[in-house]
Amino acid sequence: MNTYDVEYLEFPITHLCSLHCDGCSAYANYALSNMVTLEQAEVWLTSWGRRVKPKFFRILGGEPFLNPMLPQIVILARAIFPQADIQVCTNGLNFDRHPEMPFLLRTLNVGLFLSVHSQDKKYLPKVRAAIDQMQAWHTNEGIRIGFGDNIHNWNRFYKGIGEDMLPFTDADPKASWEVCHSKHCVNLVDGRLWKCPQIGNLHIVGEKFGLGSKPEWAPYLAYKGLGLEATDKELVSFFTKSTEAVCGMCPSRLDNYRKDIQNVRFKMPGIERLEIASEHVESLENLPEVLREIGIVSEVPA
C-alpha cells in the first residue's frame, strides 16, 4: 500500500448545527444527532492517513464547535497530516464552547473559515460579532482566517424536505457534475471516503426519514463510497474520477434561491437556535451592501 497525495479532504465531525440551512449539504438542518467521537476520529484518521496525504484538510460539520472533542480532533489531525493546510469551517455562533481554540489554532497553524448564511437582521449581529472576534484573533495572535458567502449561489440538490425528499430526475449525471459546487469535496464519513457530502451523508438522513422505502433513492443509498480495503488502483481512480452514476441524483441546472436558516420543523433541545421572523429579512437588493459592510469576501473555495 502506498500513500497518495490528494488535493482535498473534508471531515464532518458532527451533524448538529446551530443554524438550520435548508439545503445544507451535510443535512445538518435536520437535527441529526451524529457526533464523531475522539476514538472514531483516531481510528479513521490514522488508517486513512496511511493511504492519503491531503494538501488541504477541512474539519467541518454541522457546526464543528458543537463537538466537545473539537480541540482533540484538531490536535489529532495536525499530528496525522503535519504538512497539510488544515482549516476548521464554522458558522461562528458557538465559539464560547471552546475557549482554548484560539491557542490551538495559533500553535498548530490551523486556519478558521467562517461562512455567512443569511442577511436577516437578527442573525447579522451575531455573525458580525463572530467576524469581529476572528479579526481580533488574526490581528493579535496571527491566526489565519477566511470568510465565505453562503448566501449567493446557494442551490437545491434534492427536491422536497425531510421525509418528502426526492432526488432530481434530470438523468444527466455528467451535466449535474459539471455544475456541482461539491464536485471536489471528498468526505470522510463513518470511516469511508465518499464522493461528496451530499452522497456521503445521505445514508444518515435516509435512516432518519426512512428514505430506503422510496425506490427513487435506492440507487443512491446503494452507493457505499470507498473503504480501507480498496486497492491503490481503486484509490487513485476514486480521486481522479469525475462524473459518477450517483451524480444523477443532483440537478443538471442550478436554481439559486434564498434559503431558510430557521429551525422550522426540527427541534433540537440544548442548542441555541435563532428564531427569525420573516419580517426581519432584508430584501435581496440590500444584500451586497450588507456583505461588504461586514467585510465578507465573495469567493468561496471550490
Shortest distance in whole angstroms from residue 143 CB to ligand SF4: 21
Q: Please state at what angle helix 38-49 crosses helix 70-80, rounded to 10 degrees.
A: 10
By C-beta, is 106 or 273 nearer to ligand SF4? 273
Which amino acid, 6?
A: V
Query: What are the backbone angles phi and psi of residue 175, rounded to the nearest 5°?
Result: -65, -40
Candidates 6, 13, 14, 29: give the one binding ligand SF4 (CB under 6 A).
Answer: 29
Q: How many residues bind ligand SF4 (CB under 6 A)?
A: 26
Question: Interface mask (CB under 6 A) for ligand SF4, residues 82-101, using x and -?
Answer: ---------x----------
Per CB under 6 A, 28 contacts ligand SF4: yes
**8 A C-beta contact, residue 113 and residue 57:** no
Per CB under 6 A, 21 contacts ligand SF4: yes
Shortest distance in whole angstroms from residue 71 CB to ligand SF4: 19
Candidates 6, 76, 130, 199: give the one binding ligand SF4 (CB under 6 A).
Answer: 199
Per CB under 6 A, 62 contacts ligand SF4: yes
**8 A C-beta contact, residue 175 and residue 142:** no
Quickly count: other Cβ atoms within 10 Å of residue 273's Cβ.
17
Contacts of 229 by beta carbon, 8 Å cutoff, 6+ apart: none
Q: In whole angstroms, what is the distance from residue 173 CA to residue 248 CA?
A: 4
Q: In whole angstroms, what is the distance from residue 183 CA to residue 176 CA?
A: 9
Per CB under 6 A, 250 contacts ligand SF4: yes
Query: Given the rule CB under 6 A, which residues bind ligand SF4?
Result: 17, 19-21, 24, 26, 28-29, 61-63, 91, 117, 157, 176-177, 180, 182-183, 195-196, 198-199, 246-247, 250
